[in-house]
């Protein structure tokens, strides 16, 4: 910088020495920080002081655009604005060359957008590529507003060394965060294992795992869907309205779930506005900007879906987040399947209890009715016994004997009903003993005889040779009405 264009700093040697000291202080300060934003903000603020400039800004490269992430001594309205390479050709040049770009006269240089520079009041600009792992991820720009300046070798040397120092600081911060993230992921997986094996309430398990996963991944909200036919039912939500639970959506309304179900692979969408296939009801309803979606698979069958969302701005999911979600995918798939099996088991248990209650009620009714009916039957048998003890004609005695036998049969039937209740309760004992087949047949015959007589029918029975009951062989009874 020469003459009146030089900011209020001393001669070249003094200037170079001062910049060297400032650079060492800045690099020492940022190397003690593991926070990426803190590193960049410190670089901009301290470099502005060292370079004697009036403003500084950070533009991050997102896709093909530059997005302002930090502005020092510039309008806050700039933060969040997006510019293309034509708007910021000096930043684009720094990205391509990976070297600092110094422009003394920003109002009259083809390497700048003069209209934009005039609107910002930037007369001179120094742009530094912001690199991480040899990849340009943004640009640092320092502006002079009061008057144009001529950049000296001391400023360019400062800028070049700053590029290297910031890249090292960012790499160290990234490695630190990767280690922290690995530890955090490991702790989260251990906690998920503990939840899976220590809890029996599957709804609580799914809620807890969803909370852990969302926090670790760094997403803002999350949803678990279950698949029922061609519909997707919201089962669990995190940091979303619980009124969503139970709502169901078609494949066209939650297209990301349909895609994962068909491919059985996760999808990562950093910006839904640039993904026309994801223009759908669910995404629009929740104003989702980025999403990470996993199918939940058990035994090769898709039974649900796990989706993480960002709403405030598009966010690129990194590979470590995706890998963690893959591990979680298995655990939540099992939890969702266990929940479904648990619900089915609960329904079966409830049905069984209802059936057991019905059987118990029926058995109690049969037992009560049997006891109630035996009381009058005892009276009937008693009266028939009294009649048989008196003087009767042969035909009358035969009729009364038949009535008596029928009453006894009724008592036996009532006893059998009681046996039925014992069978249902598993308390019936079966005893083997001989019986007289002819007597059994004769008693049965006598039960049907009155009905046959009333209809004018002849009814007879014959017992053939039956071995041990030889005394009954050949006996034939013939009844005529």
Burial class for 366, CB neighbours closer than 10 Å (0-12, 13-18, 19+): middle
Alpha carbon distances (Å) from 413 to 366, 407, 442: 12, 10, 17
Compute, in degrees rounded to 10, the torsion defined by CA atoms 41, 43, 44, 49.
Answer: 130
Phi then psi for residue 233, to 5 deg, are -105, 130
Residue 306, both tokens: 């796990």
Give CA–CA dist 344/346, Å, rounded.
Answer: 5
Greatest alpha-carbon span in the chain:
156
pLDDT digits over 204-221, tens only? 777 777 887 787 778 889
- pLDDT at position 416, please? 74
Q: What is the mean pLDDT of residues 400-422?
A: 77
Top mean pLDDT of 4-8, 54-58, 464-468 is at: 54-58
Give CA–CA dist 21/224, Å, rounded.
Answer: 55
Task: Confirm whether 3-178 and 199-341 share one CATH topology.
Answer: yes
pTM exceeds cut of 0.75: no
Q: Report the Cα 446 to chain-centroid distance in Å.
A: 73
Domain ranges of the chain: 3-178, 199-341, 438-481
Listed range (81-95, 123-137, 372-386) with the worst mean pLDDT: 372-386
- Asked if 347 contacts 322 with a C-beta cutoff of 8 angstroms, the reply is no
Q: Which of 315, 334, 333 is nearest to 261 (CA)?
A: 333
Phi then psi for residue 59, to 5 deg, are -115, 120
- pLDDT at position 333, please? 65
Query: What value does the mean pLDDT of the chain take?
Result: 81
For residue 100, name the pLDDT band (cuts at 50, 70, 90): very high
Give CA–CA dist 236/224, Å, rounded.
Answer: 5
Q: Which of 82, 338, 332, 337 is nearest to 217 (CA)?
A: 332
Residue 100, both tokens: 């600092």
Helix 12-31 and helix 36-51: axis angle, to 10°?
Answer: 170
- pLDDT at position 361, please? 74
pLDDT digits over 429-462, tens only? 777 888 777 877 877 787 777 778 788 888 887 7
Domain 199-341 carries which CATH code?
Answer: 3.30.450.40
Phi-psi region of 121 (alpha: psi -120 to 50; beta: other; left: phi over 0): left
Task: Name the CATH superfamily, with its identifier, for domain 3-178.
Answer: GAF domain (3.30.450.40)
Give CA–CA dist 297/458, Å, rounded.
Answer: 75
């Amino acid at each position: 910088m020469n003459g009146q264009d030089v900011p209020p700093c001393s001669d070249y040697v003094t200037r170079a020495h001062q910049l060297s000291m400032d650079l060492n202080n800045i690099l020492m300060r940022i190397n003690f920080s593991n926070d990426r934003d803190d590193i960049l903000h410190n670089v901009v603020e301290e470099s502005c002081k060292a370079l004697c400039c009036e403003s500084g800004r950070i533009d991050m490269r997102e896709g093909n655009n530059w997005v302002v992430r930090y502005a020092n001594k510039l309008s806050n309205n700039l933060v969040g604005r997006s510019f293309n390479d034509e708007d910021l050709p000096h930043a684009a040049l720094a990205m391509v060359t990976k070297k600092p770009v110094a422009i003394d006269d920003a109002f009259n240089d083809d390497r700048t957008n003069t209209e934009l520079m005039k609107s910002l009041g930037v007369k001179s600009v120094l742009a530094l590529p912001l690199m991480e792992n040899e990849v340009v991820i943004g640009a640092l720009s320092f502006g002079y507003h009061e008057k144009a300046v001529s950049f000296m070798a001391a400023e360019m040397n400062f800028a070049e060394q700053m590029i290297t120092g910031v890249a090292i600081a960012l790499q160290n911060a990234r490695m630190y965060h990767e280690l922290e993230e690995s530890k955090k992921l490991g702790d989260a997986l251990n906690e998920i294992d503990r939840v899976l094996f220590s809890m029996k309430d599957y709804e609580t398990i799914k809620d807890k795992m969803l909370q852990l996963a969302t926090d670790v991944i760094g997403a803002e909200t999350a949803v678990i869907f279950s698949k029922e036919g061609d519909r997707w039912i919201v089962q669990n939500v995190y940091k979303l309205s619980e009124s969503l639970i139970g709502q169901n959506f078609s494949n066209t309304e939650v297209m990301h779930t349909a895609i994962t179900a068909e491919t059985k692979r996760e999808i990562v969408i950093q910006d839904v506005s640039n993904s026309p296939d994801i223009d759908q009801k669910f995404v629009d309803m929740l104003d989702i900007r980025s999403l990470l979606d996993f199918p939940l698979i058990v035994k090769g069958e898709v039974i649900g879906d796990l989706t993480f969302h960002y709403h405030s701005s598009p966010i690129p999911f990194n590979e470590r987040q995706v890998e963690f979600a893959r591990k979680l995918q298995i655990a939540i798939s099992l939890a969702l399947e266990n929940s479904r099996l648990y619900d089915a088991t609960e329904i079966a248990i409830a049905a069984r209890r209802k059936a057991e209650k019905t059987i118990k009620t029926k058995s109690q009714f049969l037992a009560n009715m049997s006891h109630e009916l035996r009381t009058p039957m005892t009276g009937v048998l008693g009266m028939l016994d009294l009649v048989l003890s008196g003087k009767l004609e042969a035909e009358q005695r035969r009729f009364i004997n038949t009535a008596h036998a029928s009453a006894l049969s009724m008592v036996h039937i009532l006893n059998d009903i009681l046996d039925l209740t014992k069978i249902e309760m598993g308390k019936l004992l079966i005893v083997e003993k001989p019986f007289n087949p002819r007597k059994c047949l004769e008693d049965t015959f006598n039960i049907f005889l009155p009905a046959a007589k009333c209809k004018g029918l002849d009814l007879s029975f014959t017992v053939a040779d039956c071995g041990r009951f030889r005394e009954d062989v050949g006996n034939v009874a013939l009844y005529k009405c």
